[in-house]
Structures are given as C-alpha cells and as structure tokens.
Amino acid sequence: MKILIKKGRVIDPKNNIDEILDVYINGNIIEKIGKNIKEKGVEDFVIDATDHIVAPGFIDVHVHLREPGYEYKETIKTGTMAAAKGGFTSVVCMANTEPVNDNRSITEFIIKKAKLEGSCRVFPCGAITKGLKGEELSEIGDMFDAGIVAISDDGKSVKHSGVLRKALEYSKIFGIPVISHCEDTDLSHGFINEGVASVLSGLDTVPSIAEEIIVQRDIMIAKYVNANIHLTHISTAGSVDIIAREKRNYKYITCDTCPHYFSLTEDATLKFDTNTKVNPPLRSKKDIEAIKEGLKNGIIDIIATDHAPHDLPSKDMEFNLAASGISGLETALALSLTLFHEGVLTLGELVKKFTVNPARLLKLPYGDLSEGNAADVIVFNPYIEWIVDKNTFLSKGKNTPFDGWKLKGKNLLTIVDGKIVYRDGLI
C-alpha cells in the first residue's frame, strides 16, 4: 500500500520537526518526508491533512487488555480497536490477567493473539512476582525471551523490599524497566482521597502518603541497585516533589501520570458515581496543579491512560464494592489536549510525552517519523469539538466519568505498519 499524506503540520519531536510537510508511506515504511511530494500510484490513497496535525503514532505504556481471563471486560481485539481510535499505535498490557502473565506461555499467547486480532502493536508487561503475590519472582528471563518489554505487579506494590531489589537487579540484566505501582497497603484501606470529599461522603480513604512513601522507597532501592525505575500513575503533589528532588541526583527515574489526574478532582466522587473510582484515587485541586506543573517542567515524562475497562455489573454497585478504573483510550488525547489549550504544554511537548519518551523507556524503535522507520502515523485535529458518548466506544468498557463532556481535539486517522486501521469520517 502507498499512502501520501499531504499538507499536514508534521510534529516529530525526536527529529525537531514542526512544519507543513507531506509524508509518503510505501508499504510499511515511511519513505519520504518533504514539501510537495509527488509520487505515482498513490492516487487512491492521498490524505488531505490540511489544518491537521501529523504525528508519530502514540505509545501507551499502561493499559489493561484483560485477556486472557476477563474477556467479558475487554479483549485484545476490542482493546486495540479502542487504542487505534484514540491514536495509539503501540500499547503495553499489564500482567494482571487470569492466569497472570508470569510465565512464557502467557506472554506468547498474548503476542500471538495480538498478531492475529490486534489493530495496533501489543507489548506484554510481565509480572514481577508469581501470581502477583509479592513473594517469589516470576520467570523473568523466560518472559523476556518470549517478548515482554517491562515487569510490573501493577494493581499492587511489591511489599517486600528484598523481592523488589532482586527484581531491579534482574531488570538490569535484561535491560527492561520495572514499572512500579506505588501504594502502601498498610496505609491505604479506602476508596477515595483523604480530604474534604472524604469528610463529606464518609467513605474510607487513601491518604496521599500511601503513594508517596512507596515512591520514595522504590527510588531508594533503585538507586542502591543502580537500576531504572518507572513510577506509574503518579497522582499527588508530594510524589511530584519527591521525584523532582531525586531526579536531580539520579538519572534513571521516569514516571507517568494519567489524564484523569489532571482533569478531575476528588469532588467528582461526591456523587458516588463509581466511574470516578480509580486506584490511586482522584486527588485534590492542589494535586492537580502539581501534576500539571510536573508535566510542564518535565518532571513527569509520560502520559499514559491506565485504560481499565470493566463490565457494567462490576461498576453498578455500591462505591466501596465497585471495581476501580476508567476506560481511557478513547478520551486520552482530547483530555490531554486541554493542557495545550490551557498553555501548560506546547503541541510538540505534548506529542513527546506520548511518543519519544515512552519509546525511550521501553527501547522501542517507534515514536518518530524518521525516513526508513515503520509507518506508525496518526493525524489529529486539536480544535475539533465533540461530545463523549460512551455508547460509541469501541472498547467493551463503557466505564467513563467523561460521558457527556464536550472535549476539544480528536484523532482522525491511525496508520499502523503502513495500514490504515482507523479513519474518522471527518478526514
């Protein structure tokens, strides 16, 4: 297939490109980027990207595809369809499936299934410990050989410091990051942030220190081992402060946050809408301001979705019993573009947090538009307004607190390995 994308504003942070250019795709390769490209044989595949942004396909370092074991919540097929719609050409799927991805056979199953049914690239994240129990290390070497790109017990923190130390030592051998879910469960026994909203609602709380104490601990262990540590879904001002301070003296720390942590405060939980129940919980206005500042000054490297789709029954119950999570792949771009509209980030800075930085973390050969690279390309418009309708989600998970919101910014075209996998009717 030959595709010519004409007259779009090409934003490629890795190559310092931000100008009106054409992009010519030949087969699965970006063959040429330049002005007024004229190629024969592409007449049926000319895309007019005037007034739109052409960017590298986004990379999501944190999603839950649920398969195997929870196919009633999501499948690799539906999850990657949602990813493609949202502008993601690569996703990293967490290990908390059933059975847990803690061995070669599950890793191989995920990779094989993704190749057969996926609309985008899928990179498995292996479990740090067997069964996510925090006791015995998983078969990390076997999983790495099978194709994992990171290890994480996401959903749980590795409580035993000695086990985490060993995991970090193994991560150095294989050159993959540890993705750390930061939560001290001895301090965290609730469902919403400890603050004004918890006083008003009476719901049990998750204090900010429950996250921050593990952020500090995990960084200290990583520094001792001299290993990479990636801290995921950072949600508090205190965590941002700790990471900022530690980054000054240790270069192997990275972190991400999610759109809901700069879009919603704890006040959203006062309606007892279980779609606002996430882990870590929605925090205070002060925390949101700190998250935005951390994104602006580069302390927070990556924006990830923590896409956590659920079936209706898992959310349709009392707040304290409902499952945690937001179906986030299809709203992430628009919510994140709010940072651009508010002047927090430039478009180039925003694209970098979805492309270059995730690719660097995972050592993936994607996230840029270099000639000769795989043709993973998206076209989006930061100004198109649309109303979120959960019923139009391609994900099985309709659990979103943003249903009915008017958002500004929409992905219009997604190309993975030279193939158009999503195209909006507006382009």
Catalytic (active-site) positions: 306
Backbone φ/ψ region at 417: left (φ over 0), alpha (ψ -120 to 50), beta: left
Q: How far is CA 42 from CA 25, 45, 377, 413, 422, in A?
A: 9, 5, 17, 17, 19
Rounded to an integer, what distance in angstroms lies between the CA atom of residue 105 and that of residue 112? 10
What whole-number distance in Å separates Cα of residue 42 and Cα of residue 46?
Answer: 6
Contact 48, 381 (CB under 8 A): no
Q: Taking Cα atoms as reference points, which of 73, 70, 84, 23 lies closest to residue 49?
A: 23
Q: Tell me the H-state helices in 100-207.
A: 104-117, 140-146, 161-174, 196-201
Buried b / exposed e along 332-363 (16+ C-beta atoms within 10 A): bbbbbbbbbeeebbebbebbbbbbbbbbbbbe
Helix, strand, coil shares of the chain, percent, nearest 5, are 35, 25, 40
**Torsion sign, CA atoms 128, 120, 393, 369:** positive
Rounded distance, CA 50 to CA 53, Å? 8
In contact, 62 and 256? CB cutoff 8 Å:
yes
- How many distinct helices (H) and strands (E) make up the chain? 12, 18
Find, among 376, 281, 288, the residue nearest to 319 by Cα: 281
